[in-house]
Homo-oligomer: A and B are copies of this chain.
Amino acid sequence: MSLLVVGSVAFDAVKTPFGEVDEALGGSATYFSTSASYFTDVAVVAVVGSDFPEKHLVSLKSRGIDIEGIERKEGKTFRWKGEYGYELNEAKTLDTQLNVFESFKPVLPDSYKSRKVVFLANIDPDLQRDVLNQVKEPALVACDTMNFWISGKRDSLVKTLKSVDMLLINDGEARQLANEPNLVKAASKIMSMGPKTLVIKRGEYGALMFTRKEIFAAPAYPLEAVFDPTGAGDSFAGGFMGYLANTMNFEPSNIRKAIIFGSVMASFNVESFSLDRLKSLDYKEIEARFREFKRLTHFEDLG
């Protein structure tokens, strides 16, 4: 029923073959919370600079997102600049300015401390644990990470992994983290590091879920118009965790449904730049696309 996310709120400059935006609202916590807001209450822990316009905070609040934990600090907001080629699969990062994120020490508002479902988006694994340690009795903890932390802060990341139930990363990161090219073996190694459930995001190829007992494969929704993949992974995580927080059912069969909801949200997100499509959905559209995923993947049993 109550979801907490720590991550970035950022300004993105993004160029794709279909256009470009500058100073667009972005960041993992922004995409995550907007996506999750269709399913559950979500509270955000993040930091913005003195240059961050009030209208963006109002926009998040208008989706019912709790922004009490978004700290405003003297200085500039986190900025990311990236570019995508025609295949739209991987961003080339052109510039990253941590700015106010560099000295961020997250302090949770009291009302956040009893949240039951926690998502530690892709930030410094030290900060991920700082936040987690302030939550009283979480029922489900998941985290994301990236190559930068896997190579640069591996020991700290391994500590974080010991405390999480689920890890959501992409396939390249899974191979890097496990130091193993075969994805099935890599998954097994990663689960021995802590997370009982591993969700591997594969962009246009969908997602895989691994537990000790089963594997689930979900495709991505084939879209005729992909404009900007920025935030797809975080929108996926938002739909995934939002649905789990709403249902509070962490059985594998429900995690499978959550993966489809995550895939649905990611598919909407890439249809526009920034949060343009994601912030103005109708829940009926979400359900309709869930049904599309069923049609997309269904085949008859053996006769």
Contact (Cβ within 8 A) A206 B217: yes
What CA separation (Å) do A223 and B302 show in the bound complex? 22
Q: Convert A213-249 into 0s and 1s, putting 1 for each residue whose CB lies closer than 8 angstroms to a CB of B.
A: 0111111001111100000000000000000000000
Q: Which of A2-10, A22-30, A180-188 contacts B (4 or more CB under 8 A)?
A: A180-188
CB of A4 to closest CB in B, whole Å: 25
Partner-binding segment picked from A38-46, A151-159, A292-300: A292-300
| Contact across chains for A296 and B184 when beta carbons are under 8 A apart | no
Chain B nearest CB, measured from A300 CB (Å) = 6
* Cross-chain pairs A/B with CB under 8 angstroms, 21 sampled: A17-B181, A88-B181, A182-B224, A182-B226, A185-B224, A202-B205, A205-B206, A206-B217, A215-B296, A216-B298, A216-B299, A217-B219, A217-B222, A217-B297, A256-B299, A256-B300, A257-B299, A287-B302, A290-B302, A291-B302, A297-B297
Stoichiometry, as copies per complex, reads 2
Contacts of A302 in B (CB 8 A): 287, 290-291
- The 6 A-B pairs with the shortest beta carbon distances in the complex, nearest first, are A217-B219, A86-B181, A205-B205, A256-B299, A184-B224, A184-B222
Query: At the interface, yes or no: A260 with Cβ under 8 Å from chain B?
Result: yes
Is A253 located at the chain interface by the 8 A CB criterion? yes
Answer whether residue A282 sits at the interface, using C-beta atoms and an 8 A cutoff: no
A110 within 8 A of B: no
Instruction: Please tell me if the beta carbons of A296 and B256 are within 8 angstroms of each other in the complex.
Output: no
Q: Tell yes or no: A120 within 8 A of B by CB.
A: no
Contacting residues, chain B, for A143 (C-beta < 8 A): none
Residues of B within 8 A of A299 (CB): 216, 218, 253, 256-257, 259-260, 294, 297
A202 contacts which chain B residues (CB < 8 A)? 205
Chain B residue numbers with a CB within 8 Å of A185 are 224
Q: Taking beta carbons and an 8 Å cutoff, which residues of A are in contact with B?
A: 17, 86-88, 181-185, 202, 204-206, 208, 214-219, 222-226, 253, 256-257, 259-260, 287, 290-291, 294-302
Q: Which of A222, A287, A290 neighbours the largest number of chain B CB atoms within 10 Å of its CB?
A: A222
Bound-state CA distance A218–B295 (Å) is 12
Q: How far is the CA of A206 from the CA of B202 in the complex (A)?
A: 12
Asked whether B208 lies within 8 Å of A222 as measured between CB atoms, the reply is yes
CB distance from A28 to the nearest CB of B (A): 25
Specify which chain B residues have a CB less than 8 angstroms from the CB of A300 in the assembled complex: 253, 256-257
Q: Which residues from chain B contact A217 at a C-beta distance below 8 Å?
A: 206, 219, 222, 296-297
Within the assembled complex, what's the spacing in Å between the Cα atoms of A181 and B86? 6
A218 and B300 alpha carbons, distance in the complex (Å): 13
Q: How far is the CB of A229 from the nearest CB of chain B, in Å? A: 13
